[in-house]
Amino acid sequence: MSPQRITSDIVTRIGLKIDTGRNCTTWTRAILPARLGKMYSRILSRQYHSTKGVFGFRPKPRKEFQLDKHISEARVQRSNAFRWVEAYRNHAHRTASVDPVKFRPSDESVTERTLDYTRYGLTVNDRINPFGLVNTGASSTITTEQLQDLLQTMYCGTTSIELAFIEDEHEREWLAEQYERSFQTTLASIEKREIAELLLQSQAFDTFVATKFPTVKRYGGEGAESIMAFYRQLFRCAAEADLTNVVYRDTSTDLEVLGKTIHLNMLHNPSHLEAVNPVSMGKTRAKQLSLRDGPYGTSDCGDHPSRALNIQLHGDGAFVGQGINQECLMMADVPHFDVGGSIHMIVNNQVGFTTPGDRGRGTRYASDLAKSIAAPVFHVNGDDPEALSRVTKLAFDYQQKFGKDVFIDLNCFRRWGHNEMDDPTFTNPLLYGVIHSRDSVPDLYARKLLASGDLAQSEVDAIVKKHMDYLNSELQNLSSYQPEKSYFEKQWSGIVQAGSEVTTWDTGVDYSLLSLIAQTSVKCPEDFALHPHLRKHHVESRLKKIAEGTRLDWATAEAMALGSLLYQGFNVRISGEDIGRGTFSQRHAMFVDQNTNEIFVPLNELEGGNGGKLELANSILSEEAVLGFEYGMAIDNPNNLVIWEAQFGDFFNGAQIIIDTFLTTGETKWMVCNGLVMLLPHGFDGAASEHSSCRMERFLQMTDSRESTPDGDDVNFQVINPSTPAQYFHALRRQMIRNFRKPLVVVAPKTLLRLSECVSSHADLAPGTYFQPVLGDRHVADPKKVKRVVLCSGKHYYNLNAERVASGRGDVALVRVESLCPFPVQQIQEEMARYANAKEFVWSQEEHRNMGAWTFVQPRFENMCGKRIKYRGRYEGATVAVGVSSWHAKEAEQVVKSAFE
């Protein structure tokens, strides 16, 4: 809302009339706009997550920045010189010497035009006092030429910075001052020697691998060895800041740095480039939840950063080309996804597989996406590891101070192309002509230290020999090496790998506690302005259902399940688009004050219990990054129930990479277990193709369920299509009560949320009850008279039952297969045994024949139950549903009737 737009509304509200003509009073011209401005500011600050915050979100205190008046005065008095300095800060990066292969020329026009001091009315003989203009460390005036030399060194050398697009004045001023001040310090000789040793060791490793395994495809670090200086400085900064966790990309380990221990969480990374980035963000946030700091802290002060830090490593081509990076950046400062800023390192080797850098993007820099969130970017020449070390400290300090993302663009090269077996000269002959004719980064740096006397040749030789001896020794011990167990430890102790049997877990809860939980779920403070529709149709309706205890609906069962887990001490996080309210306006797990926009989460006020908390994370309109984020949270701690709800079931296809490479395969590939729940609203309700089906057939195909032998709990993930609130209740609780963790796909309902027949009784939730993989037909008067058994799943049961009642077919039994994977062979056999005279067995589904569960159910039923089964449902189709309502109605009627024909 613009100031102009709100003016008439506010003025009318406060009973004033504005005379916009020349004769208006001084009060109206001067005072009223000021008051309107303050009111407008308050309106703007009254956002969805506003002043008080909720669990998992603490509003960041906004501090007013005031530039020192002496600096302001200096800039006014020497405005020409200041404009010249600003030109360097804003534009000199385009002519900086940050390319180590010097293959692409810099923008000389910047030097000729924008950076020419004569353009700003300065002459070579001018003397300039740098105070307030640039941080030179000088205490007296200097000549224009001297200042130019300083600015060239700072902004046109082997490092440069982009900050013109940063809106916050405080950030810009801090960055410029700290960046310029960093040139006044140099590394100590011992620090240079440490960096040289790391670079030489990196080179020795690549040489060793090339010698011992010459025909094996590998991806070395040659050309980017200076990144070792980045890690060295980063870990030192982390230790000095007393950080306890650094979350990064393949095993986890404890590092001893400066006498302190830092736990380095290195995530397993699939071949899908950049897919691990949101996972690392989610893992970082889960660490913050465990530490109860950052967004989960109890302090009102926002100046204390979290002790967990997120690091992201990007390739130049992948960072530009993979959309998941944009999604991650758009989450960076969103409540409930904020991790306090990530430090990004772009390894810019100027070629993506065989694609030249300038063909892999349409922008000047590989880092340009950072501008979308106004994140500062440091450009560094990979031939200068000391400069990289200096910039790393700046990036770390910025992230710690402002809690925002920051980027380092490391300009380097790949000496041997995409991999060491590749020939890059096929497609990039000129670039690799330059690369192959130049010395390596470690050799250049060692030569520099030899010339300065910081290192002797004998020391260089000793470093290389010692590391090669170590590598040879390790290789000789390879045959006797036994990897250490790295799973089910620390917070995962007590969790085991699922077995080959199917286990049953008592997930029932005493109704007196469930009643308290459900009542709490709709209780808000007396002064809270609750929406009147919610008060009548949600709050009062739920209280009535609780009191009766026999017609509990889906949302009430969910609240009871989640609340009971909170009561037991588990944390619960629900993430997705519109999850607070629920896409179908069924959940209302959070209330929004109609006068103030403040949020209230009733279940977090639950009294008694062990203090679990509910986090409601309304997400951006993203699936891939958000699901990756939630997977990252789920793999950190088994005591956190993480739920991702798709707005509609088909939305999961935007996250297919995360599902394929992490969710369904993570345990098999890496022994990384997780209990993440995916809620996918599903049902043919006339909503046409895109929003009818969650494509359950795809999930069933991705399971490692067997067609001829019974499944166990050890399937890679589980798929259910529950048809009652009680079943959903037990499924959610089972995720946490079990002593193992498996991902769970819930083919979730839409129409069942309010279907009058879809209710459960308190008896269905009582101690001793549990999730039932199969719900038998208890409406059949005489099982011996049943001639046909129709198996179905989920919401479709209610359509079939309505038809059976209408047609009076007492000879048909309806059996609900609630668990599709693991496929419940034993329970189906037990139910089939009730119908000794049944001759026909039918699988009925809403979905097309080539979709839904049919192709999964048929071979398992026939192979393990020993009976032929017929298909009844829609024909084969390319789209999941028709787009004409009349056709849909006819199809739906035929599908139901065909089950009884």
Instruction: For 812-881, give the DSSP string.
Output: EEEEEE-EEES--HHHHHHHHTT-TT--EEEEEEEEETTSTTHHHHHHHHHHHH----EEEEE---SSSS
pLDDT interval class at 21 (50, 70, 90): very low
Distance in angstroms (rounded) separating the CA atoms of residues 765 and 770: 8
Sorted by where each starts, the structural domains of the chain and their CATH numbers stand as: 70-183 (no CATH), 193-220+429-476 (no CATH), 224-412 (3.40.50.970), 511-764 (3.40.50.12470), 774-899 (3.40.50.11610)
Q: What is the pLDDT of residue 113?
A: 85
DSSP, collapsed to helix, strand or coil, labels residue 196 as helix
pLDDT tens digit sequence for 51-60: 788 999 988 8
Determine contact, residues 155/89, Cβ cutoff 8 Å: yes
pLDDT tens digit sequence for 315-365: 999 999 999 999 999 999 999 999 999 999 999 998 887 888 778 888 999
Residue 873 CA to its chain's centroid (Å): 38
Q: Does the pLDDT at position 61 exceed 60?
A: yes
In 207-251, beta strands by DSSP E: 245-248
In 121-277, beta strands by DSSP E: 127-128, 142-143, 159-162, 245-248, 252-257, 260-266
* Neighbour count for residue 751 (Cβ, 10 Å): 15
DSSP string for residues in 78-138: THHHHHHHHHHHHHGGGG----TT--S---HHIIIIIT-GGGGT--TT-EE--TTT-----
DSSP, collapsed to helix, strand or coil, labels residue 64 as coil
Nearest in space to 351 (alpha carbons), one of 224, 509, 518? 224
β-strand partners of 473 = none
Q: What is the pLDDT of residue 38?
A: 40
Q: What is the pLDDT of residue 222?
A: 93
Distance in angstroms (rounded) separating the CA atoms of residues 661 and 270: 6
pLDDT tens digit sequence for 207-253: 999 999 999 988 889 999 999 999 999 999 999 999 999 998 658 78
- Give the residue-averaged pLDDT of 298-327: 86
Q: Which pTM value belongs to this model?
A: 0.92
pLDDT interval class at 140 (50, 70, 90): confident
Q: Does the pLDDT at position 624 exceed 90?
A: yes
Least confident span in 62-71, 169-178, 395-404:
62-71
pLDDT tens digit sequence for 367-414: 999 999 999 999 999 999 999 999 999 999 999 999 999 999 999 999
CA Rg value for the chain = 32
Q: Does the pLDDT at position 312 exceed 60?
A: yes
More reliable by pLDDT, 299 or 100: 100
CA contacts within 13 A on the Cβ side of 428: 26
Q: Which helix (H) or strand (E) holds 390?
A: helix 385-402
Q: What is the pLDDT of residue 139?
A: 76
pLDDT tens digit sequence for 825-878: 999 999 999 999 999 999 999 999 999 999 999 999 999 999 999 999 999 999
Nearest in space to 673 (alpha carbons), one of 649, 650, 642, 694? 642
Q: What is the pLDDT of residue 24?
A: 37
DSSP, collapsed to helix, strand or coil, labels residue 557 as helix
Determine contact, residues 749/795, Cβ cutoff 8 Å: yes
Buried b (16+ CB within 10 A) or exposed e, 29-60: eeebeeebeeebeeeeeeeebeeebbbbbbbe
- Give the residue-averaged pLDDT of 625-652: 96
- Give the residue-averaged pLDDT of 480-491: 88
Q: Does the pLDDT at position 36 exceed 60?
A: no
Q: Does the pLDDT at position 16 exceed 50?
A: no
Distance in angstroms (rounded) separating the CA atoms of residues 833 and 648: 38
Q: Does the pLDDT at position 41 exceed 80?
A: no
Q: Does the pLDDT at position 138 exceed 80?
A: no
Distance in angstroms (rounded) separating the CA atoms of residues 19 and 15: 13
Distance in angstroms (rounded) separating the CA atoms of residues 813 and 799: 14
- Give the residue-averaged pLDDT of 61-81: 92
Q: Does the pLDDT at position 30 exceed 90?
A: no
The amino acid at residue 493 is: S
Nearest in space to 162 (alpha carbons), one of 361, 398, 503, 426? 398
Bridge-based pairing state of the strands 788-792 and 840-848: parallel
Q: What is the pLDDT of residue 45?
A: 40
Distance in angstroms (rounded) separating the CA atoms of residues 317 and 535: 53
- Give the residue-averaged pLDDT of 629-645: 97
Contacts of 262 (CB under 8 A, 6+ apart): 235, 238, 239, 243, 244, 245, 246, 254, 255
Q: Does the pLDDT at position 19 exceed 70?
A: no
Least confident span in 30-39, 171-180, 554-563, 714-723:
30-39
Determine contact, residues 555/602, Cβ cutoff 8 Å: no
Determine contact, residues 470/681, Cβ cutoff 8 Å: no
Determine contact, residues 563/601, Cβ cutoff 8 Å: no
pLDDT tens digit sequence for 178-198: 999 999 999 999 999 999 999
Nearest in space to 386 (alpha carbons), one of 193, 204, 672, 201? 193
Find where tokens 């990756």 sit. Answer: 628
Q: What is the pLDDT of residue 49?
A: 60
* Omega before 822 within 30 of 0, i.e. cis: yes
DSSP string for residues in 699-756: HHHHS---SSS---TTSSSEEE---SHHHHHHHHHHHHHSSS---EEEEE-SGGGT-T
Tokens linked to 732: 């959610």
Q: What percent of the chain has pLDDT over 90?
A: 81
- Give the residue-averaged pLDDT of 131-159: 93
Q: Does the pLDDT at position 4 exceed 60?
A: no
Determine contact, residues 127/141, Cβ cutoff 8 Å: yes
Determine contact, residues 846/852, Cβ cutoff 8 Å: yes
* Neighbour count for residue 596 (Cβ, 10 Å): 14
Dihedral angle sign, alpha carbons of residues 366, 371, 373, 379: positive
Distance in angstroms (rounded) separating the CA atoms of residues 333 and 445: 39
Q: What percent of the chain has pLDDT over 70?
A: 94
pLDDT tens digit sequence for 673-708: 999 999 999 999 888 788 999 999 999 999 999 999
Determine contact, residues 228/198, Cβ cutoff 8 Å: yes
pLDDT tens digit sequence for 278-295: 999 999 999 999 999 999
* Number of helical (H) and strand (E) elements in the chain, helices listed first: 30, 26
β-strand partners of 311 = 343
Determine contact, residues 600/580, Cβ cutoff 8 Å: no
pLDDT interval class at 25 (50, 70, 90): very low
Buried b (16+ CB within 10 A) or exposed e, 625-652: bbbbbbbbbbbbbbbbbbbbbbbbbbbb
Tokens linked to 34: 């000021």
Least confident span in 135-144, 157-166, 276-285:
135-144
